[in-house]
Amino acid sequence: MVNLARLWIGTPYMHQARCQGVGCDCLGLVLGIWTDLRGGLPEPPPSYTQDWSEAGGGERLWRAAERHLIPKPVSEAEIGDVLLFRMRRGAVAKHLGIQSAVGEQAAFIHAYSGRGVVESRLTASWARRNVARFEFPKGR
């Protein structure tokens, strides 16, 4: 899974896109990897704005992740986990990444506005924003 995610590094950031090498956002990155691993998508992604559901406060991205991925404790880090981040206190969780390394050199791959798909250290600042962790279901 991480090897697939690393193939996306350098893809430009493009809101609501999921095309490796052309453009994607953080959800597009996860959906692109899902498609590579499992074939089709489990449900069509909803239309969404860059603020997701901040106006209404609903955790739409979190609920969708719970429907299709396997929730696990945030403290049980494994390579290949899908990470969900809350970017501001009191805001909805709306950023995703793929855990690419654990331990002292913990890192994750994500699509970041203005930077595209990058691999970043999972610093204390990022770690405190991580509110949920999921694993991909096994098999096709």
**Residue ranges with strand state E in the chain:** 18-19, 23-24, 70-72, 82-86, 93-101, 107-112, 116-121, 130-135
28 part of a folded domain: yes
The CATH number of the domain holding residue 16 is 3.90.1720.10
Q: What is the pLDDT of residue 40?
A: 86
At residue 32, φ and ψ (nearest 5 deg) are -65, -40
Q: What is the C-alpha separation between 95 and 97, in angstroms, rounded?
A: 7
pTM: 0.92
CB 125 within 8 A of CB 106: no
Q: What is the pLDDT of residue 25?
A: 95
Q: What is the C-alpha separation between 13 and 115, in angstroms, rounded?
A: 7
104 part of a folded domain: yes
140 part of a folded domain: no
Mark out the alpha helices in the chain (DSSP H runs): 2-7, 26-38, 60-68, 124-129
Q: What is the pLDDT of residue 110?
A: 98
Q: What is the C-alpha separation between 117 and 30, in angstroms, rounded?
A: 11
Tokens of 36: 């590579």
- What domain range includes position 50? 2-135
Band of pLDDT at residue 53, cut at 50, 70 and 90: low
**pLDDT by residue (tens digit) across 63-121?**
999 999 999 999 999 999 999 999 888 888 989 999 999 999 999 999 999 899 999 99
Number of domains in the chain: 1
Contacts for 57 with CB less than 8 Å, ≥ 6 apart: 92
